[in-house]
């Protein structure tokens, strides 16, 4: 890293092409560093459930005579296997998203349908905590994009809202539009996120409270996936939160003219 910076400095005094070369190398070095970092994180994260499954298999073998213990270890094996499966799925999703800047299979997408589907999929988990949804404030609105990816993005936000909220609370999902942009806000009455963590929660594998978050079953990749999907749709996601009061994640996407029934434009993503 130090060498590269030095090269850029030298180049600033020298000829322009050296500067370009140095710039390129800096970019490549950064990409490589990010990739290496990702691989290191992935290996570390995968080792935890794999190690647990291996230990549980040993425990199962050793306690074959004890029916209760077998049941208990089998159940824990199942939990760890499910965590591993979720992790692998998120890693694959994220690496696919990182490989591209724009939506590959775009079409006119009705946001109401996307939100309804994302809410539907989170309903079971919400009901188990007696959390209710308040969806409102939106008319027919369409964006150009990939419906599956958009459902994944909102599903992650809604799943988090459920995961980090106590029982008997509400989750609001409101939509409005202005200046050709649609804002979709997902608000919870949960534990909230401290100011210093707010900048970091979109990073891969970052958890505001590592021990507790692991216990709640997340992979640490959810918000990173959301950020990529929204960026690929030409939008951005922002966060407002106050510890103890709750959080609001707002997704801002460019509106597609003409509403859900409109023709898909020939051009690239707007």
Please give the structure tokens belonging to residue 2. 């130090």
Which one of the spans 2-10, 26-34, 41-49, 201-209 is the region binding ligand ADP (CB under 6 A)?
A: 201-209
Rounded Cα gap, residues 174 and 176, in angstroms:
7
Q: Give 141 or 207: the residue with its C-beta nearer to ligand ADP.
A: 207
As measured in angstroms, the least distance from the Cβ of 237 to ligand ADP is 11
Which one of the spans 20-28, 111-119, 175-183, 222-230 is the region binding ligand ADP (CB under 6 A)?
A: 222-230
Which one of the spans 108-116, 125-133, 188-196, 259-267 is the region binding ligand ADP (CB under 6 A)?
A: 188-196
Rounded Cα gap, residues 13 and 20, in angstroms:
13
Residue 191 is a binding residue for ligand ADP (CB under 6 A): yes
Q: Give 53 or 186: the residue with its C-beta nearer to ligand ADP.
A: 186
Residue 228 is a binding residue for ligand ADP (CB under 6 A): no
Which one of the spans 32-40, 43-51, 54-62, 186-194 is the region binding ligand ADP (CB under 6 A)?
A: 186-194
Residue 160 is a binding residue for ligand ADP (CB under 6 A): yes
Number of Cβ within 10 Å of residue 99's Cβ equals 8
Residue 221 is a binding residue for ligand ADP (CB under 6 A): yes
Do residues 160 and 135 lie in contact, with contact meaning Cβ atoms separated by under 8 Å? no
As measured in angstroms, the least distance from the Cβ of 250 to ligand ADP is 12
> Which residue has 């499966």 as its token pair?
85
Per-residue x/- track, 4-23, ligand ADP (CB under 6 A): --------------------
Do residues 187 and 248 lie in contact, with contact meaning Cβ atoms separated by under 8 Å? yes
- Give the phi and the psi of residue 241 in degrees, each rounded to 5: -155, 150
Residue 106 is a binding residue for ligand ADP (CB under 6 A): no
Pick from 158, 223, 229, 230 the residue near ligand ADP by CB under 6 A: 223
Residue 255 is a binding residue for ligand ADP (CB under 6 A): no
Residue 45 is a binding residue for ligand ADP (CB under 6 A): no
Pick from 198, 213, 238, 250 the residue near ligand ADP by CB under 6 A: 213
Nearest to residue 156, comparing CAs of 59, 221, 244?
221
Rounded Cα gap, residues 86 and 92, in angstroms:
10
Q: Give 23 or 197: the residue with its C-beta nearer to ligand ADP.
A: 197
Within its chain, how far is the Cα of 44 from the centroid?
A: 19
| Contacts with 160 (C-beta within 8 Å, 6 or more apart), sequence order | 218, 222, 223, 249
Rounded Cα gap, residues 122 and 26, in angstroms:
43
Residue 189 is a binding residue for ligand ADP (CB under 6 A): no
- Contact positions vs ligand ADP (CB under 6 A): 156, 160-161, 164, 188, 190-193, 201, 206-209, 213, 218-224, 247
């Amino acid at each position: 890293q130090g060498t590269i910076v030095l090269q850029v400095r030298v180049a600033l005094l020298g000829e322009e092409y050296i500067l370009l070369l140095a710039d390129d190398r800096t970019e490549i070095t950064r990409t490589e560093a990010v990739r290496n970092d990702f691989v290191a994180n992935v290996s570390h994260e995968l080792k935890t459930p794999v190690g647990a499954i291996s230990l549980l298999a040993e425990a199962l073998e050793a306690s074959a005579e004890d029916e209760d213990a077998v049941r208990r270890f089998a159940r824990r094996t199942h939990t760890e296997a499910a965590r591993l499966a979720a992790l692998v799925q998120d890693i694959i999703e994220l690496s696919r998203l990182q490989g591209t800047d724009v939506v590959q299979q775009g079409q006119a997408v009705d946001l109401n349908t996307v939100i309804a589907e994302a809410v539907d999929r989170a309903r079971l988990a919400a009901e188990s905590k007696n959390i209710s949804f308040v969806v409102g404030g939106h008319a027919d609105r369409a964006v150009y994009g990939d419906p599956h990816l958009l459902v994944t993005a909102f599903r992650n936000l809604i799943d988090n809202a459920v995961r980090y909220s106590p029982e008997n609370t509400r989750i609001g999902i409101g939509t409005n539009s202005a200046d050709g942009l649609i804002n979709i806000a997902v608000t919870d009455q949960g534990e909230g996120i401290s100011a210093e963590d707010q900048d970091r929660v979109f990073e891969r594998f970052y958890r505001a409270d590592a021990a507790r978050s692991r216990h709640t079953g997340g992979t640490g990749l959810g918000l990173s996936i959301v950020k990529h999907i929204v960026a690929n749709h030409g939008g951005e996601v922002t966060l407002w939160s106050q510890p103890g009061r709750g959080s609001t994640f707002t997704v801002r996407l460019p509106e597609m003219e003409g509403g859900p029934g409109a023709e898909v434009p020939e051009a690239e993503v707007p």
